[in-house]
């Protein structure tokens, strides 16, 4: 993914959410040609020149400092997760060269034990940043889907929620659940921009899920989400 384009889209989407009044600035009345704040207004709030901020939003300032990013985060009223994401996309780390024989991720025995203990009271499963399901207990497999029966590539919570017809039947509030999944993928893509399997999953969702592109463009981010989930579940006879 083009990180310059990602950074520009992120900054534009967040300044579009703010109004002069919401940040304590006078609106000066009259119609505004752009939604939300203008570039120069964000620059003023961040204490940088309008030209500097414009170059940042256009991806033409590759060595932006930590102090400027903190100032822009404050100007755009970013929360901790959004600020962390901004730093990842504005100052991407140099990726490690791929290793020929990468070991599959494994869950420690004590985590498996914890899942089994929880299995008597609550569904639970463990995922990585791609939402690959690394381990699950019996209740999770019974309530959601049997992850263990899937091929390794398909054993991914995002794939199930976004692609499987059964997920739309299972979740009574599927659009809400799916948007949380997209927000998780958006956050992971900023932290792991060179993850080929993650990028493949996102590209596949762009093609297969009609709502995905609009949800992705909203730049919603979620790390650990909580909330009600409505299940339509028919127990096996």
Closest CA to 166 of 147, 148, 185: 147
Closest CA to 236 of 145, 149, 171: 145
Residue 112 has pLDDT above 80, yes or no: yes
Query: What's phi and psi for 222, nearest 5 deg?
Result: -140, 135
Query: Cα 172 from chain centroid?
Result: 22
Which domains does the chain possess? 3-27+34-90 (1.10.260.40), 109-217 (no CATH)
Alpha-carbon distance values, 56 to 11, 89, 202, 216 (Å): 9, 12, 25, 21
Contact 185, 129 (CB under 8 A): no
- Percentage above 70 pLDDT, the chain: 89
Closest CA to 73 of 65, 83, 81, 64: 83
For 174-222, how does the pLDDT look when each residue is reduced to its tens digit (9 = 90+)?
999 999 999 999 999 999 999 999 999 999 999 999 999 999 999 999 8
What local confidence, expressed as pLDDT, does residue 120 receive?
85
Residue 33 has pLDDT above 70, yes or no: yes
Task: Give me the mean pLDDT over the 147-161 stretch.
Answer: 94
Token pair 């384009």: residue: 5
């Amino acid at each position: 993914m083009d990180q310059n384009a990602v950074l520009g889209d992120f900054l534009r989407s967040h300044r579009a959410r703010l109004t002069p009044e919401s940040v304590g600035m006078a609106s000066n009345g009259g119609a505004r040609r752009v939604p939300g704040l203008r570039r120069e207004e964000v620059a003023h709030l961040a204490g940088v020149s309008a030209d500097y901020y414009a170059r940042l939003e256009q991806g033409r300032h590759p060595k932006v400092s930590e102090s400027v990013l903190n100032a822009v985060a404050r100007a755009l009223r970013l929360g901790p997760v959004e600020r962390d994401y901004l730093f990842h996309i504005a100052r991407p780390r140099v990726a490690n060269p791929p290793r020929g024989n990468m070991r599959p991720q494994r869950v420690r025995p004590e985590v498996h034990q914890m899942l089994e203990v929880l299995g008597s009271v609550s569904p639970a499963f463990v995922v990585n940043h791609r939402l690959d399901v690394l381990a699950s207990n019996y209740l999770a497999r019974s309530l959601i889907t049997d992850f263990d029966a899937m091929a390794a590539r398909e054993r991914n919570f995002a794939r199930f929620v976004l692609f499987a017809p059964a997920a739309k039947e299972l979740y009574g509030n599927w659009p809400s659940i799916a948007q949380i999944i997209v927000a998780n993928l958006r956050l992971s893509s900023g932290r792991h921009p060179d993850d080929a399997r993650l990028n493949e999953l996102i590209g596949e969702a762009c093609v297969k899920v009609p709502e995905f592109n609009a949800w992705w463009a909203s730049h919603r981010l979620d790390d650990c989400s909580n909330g009600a989930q409505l299940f339509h579940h028919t127990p096996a006879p």
